[in-house]
Amino acid sequence: MGDIRMDLYDRIEERIAGMGINKRELADKAGVPYSTLISAFTRRSTSFSVEHIQKIADALDTTVDYLLRGFVKVNGIVFDPINNPIAIDESMAQIDDLQKDFRRKKITGIVRILNTLGFAELEAADKIIKALQGIQTHVSDDNGGANDA
């Protein structure tokens, strides 16, 4: 594997070229002093601040992960946001589907548990649910009053 510093600076150069801007425009857009940016590039600095890298990533419409490692990892799934941005949208939709499926399975599990309970246990569970709903309503009322003031 190549030098991580070279990779970082090469990726920044690649994004600059892709956006049709120069380093001065990047510095202005990122809010990073031009002298700091040029000095970092010239020396291939290893002490380039995380804050500056984040600002540069934002200005280049990418992520720090991409600039440093060449890929982005979301929930254990690796993406290449520059070369395959559509995969991120598709994968995020898949993650949403998985979360919905999890909630559905969770509800199904709760129903299974309720089906194993006797009448007295169901009555007790019903009382607990009503009490919790009352607490939630009371908390909402308290927050609502505070927000109106």
Q: How confident is the model at residue 33 (pLDDT cuts 50, 70, 90)?
A: very high
If asked whether residues 63 and 19 sit together in one domain, one would say yes
Residue ranges making up the domain that contains 137 = 117-149
If asked whether residues 12 and 56 sit together in one domain, one would say yes
Of 4, 26, 3, the C-alpha closest to 13 is 26
If asked whether residues 103 and 92 sit together in one domain, one would say yes
If asked whether residues 84 and 138 sit together in one domain, one would say no
Whole-number Å distance between alpha carbons of 6 and 19: 20
- Assign residue 24 the CATH number of its domain: 1.10.260.40
If asked whether residues 55 and 38 sit together in one domain, one would say yes
If asked whether residues 97 and 126 sit together in one domain, one would say no
Q: How confident is the model at residue 18 (pLDDT cuts 50, 70, 90)?
A: confident
Number of domains comprising the chain = 3
pLDDT at 46: 76
If asked whether residues 57 and 98 sit together in one domain, one would say no
Whole-number Å distance between alpha carbons of 128 and 131: 5
Q: How much of the chain exceeds pLDDT 70, in percent? A: 67
Is the pLDDT higher at 25 or at 128? 25
If asked whether residues 33 and 78 sit together in one domain, one would say no
If asked whether residues 57 and 86 sit together in one domain, one would say no
Q: Would the pLDDT of 27 be above 60?
A: yes
pLDDT at 28: 96
Whole-number Å distance between alpha carbons of 105 and 145: 37
Q: Is the overall model pTM greater than 0.75, yes or no? A: no
If asked whether residues 27 and 66 sit together in one domain, one would say yes
Q: Show the beta-strand stretches assigned E in the chain.
A: 72-74, 77-79
Residues whose CB falls within 8 Å of the CB of residue 9, separated by 6 or more in sequence, listed in order: 40, 41, 44
Q: pLDDT by residue (tens digit) across 91-115?
A: 666 667 777 777 777 777 777 776 7
**Residue 29 contacts residue 22 (beta carbons within 8 Å):** no
Whole-number Å distance between alpha carbons of 57 and 45: 17
Q: Would the pLDDT of 148 be above 70?
A: no
